[in-house]
Amino acid sequence: MLNNNHIHESAKIPAGIKMGFNVIISAEVTIGPGTIIGSNVIIHEGSSIGANVRIDDNTVIGKLPMRAANSVMKPTGELPACIIGDNCIIGANVVIYRGCEIGQKVLIADLATIRENVKIGQFTIIGRGVAVENFCEIGEYVKLETNAYITAYSKIEDRVFIAPNVCTTNDNYLGRTKERLSKMKGITAKKGSRIGGNATILPGVTLNEDALVAAGSVVTRDVPAKKVAMGVPAKIIRDVSGEQLLENQ
């Protein structure tokens, strides 16, 4: 049975790579040894895939971004190729855009989307259905759980935990007036901070080190280090208990 794979002659693929059916590998792609590629995978021009990477069915690597006619996101010039580090696991139906840099031993679960100009540190977990928008920095050992939404221009530092269905925002003007264009800003979640399920974090809010946001909260102001914020709008209610601090893990 023919596998109908299309591999550009300039692609660098070591012997022994396992591939499914209908794989497309474009020009100047490099793939490390021990990598396993599922069926219907597309790897776009120039992408670099490390060693021992697993890429599941129907995933797209190195996709070029799209721009709507009225998009506030303007082109930023030619994007660098997508880079995926060694020993990563990338699920089915994942889309990773050109201009992404993903560290080693990162897991990106099924149906996740990683936009352009995103950096993800090593050992991070990107859960099922998570969307990471453009111009985001995600640190090391971060956990983004199922269906979390990380808005553009956000910074998530090391060992942050973000629970399912968390929503982050970056536009206080909700799409009205040009003033918003110079003031768009995502969230900053500093090292060890945690956000409970279904919480909403408003634009420009900073969660300081080891801060904790309770489930269902709407956070309108910065949360101090080692404090618990709860409610709508969220208010500081107490300290994070000592045994829960990152320094004591």
Q: Which residue has the tokens 């994942």?
A: 94
Q: Quick one: pLDDT at residue 175?
A: 86
Of the candidate ranges 93-102, 172-181, 194-203, 204-213, the one whose mean pLDDT is the lowest: 172-181
Question: What is the spatial order of strands in the sheet that 30-31 belongs to?
Answer: 30-31, 48-49, 83-84, 101-102, 118-120, 136-138, 155-156, 188-189, 206-207
Query: 2 pLDDT exceeds 80?
Result: no
Overall average pLDDT of the 76-102 stretch: 95
Measured from the Cβ of residue 167, the count of other Cβ atoms closer than 10 Å reads 16
pTM across the whole model: 0.94
Q: Is the pLDDT of residue 31 over 90?
A: yes
Start-end of H helices in the chain: none
HSE-CB for 93 with a 13 A CA cutoff: 7
> Which residue, chain included where needed, has tokens 């021990």?
34
Nearest Cα to 194, choosing from 215, 173, 176? Answer: 215
Residue 1 has pLDDT above 50, yes or no: no
Pick from 174, 177, 161: nearest CA to 127: 161
Q: Which amino acid is at 134?
A: N
Average pLDDT, the chain: 95
6 in helix, strand or coil?
A: strand
Provide φ and ψ at 244, rounded to 5°: -95, -10
Indicate the burial class of 6 (C-beta count within 10 angstroms; 0-12, 13-18, 19 or more).
Answer: exposed
Pair 25, 6: CB distance under 8 Å: yes
Q: Please say if the pLDDT value at position 75 is more than 80.
A: no
Residues 41-73 pLDDT 10s:
999 999 999 999 999 999 999 999 987 766 666
Give 106-151 pLDDT, tens digit per residue: 999 999 999 999 999 999 999 999 999 999 999 999 999 999 999 9
Tokens 């580090």 belong to 85
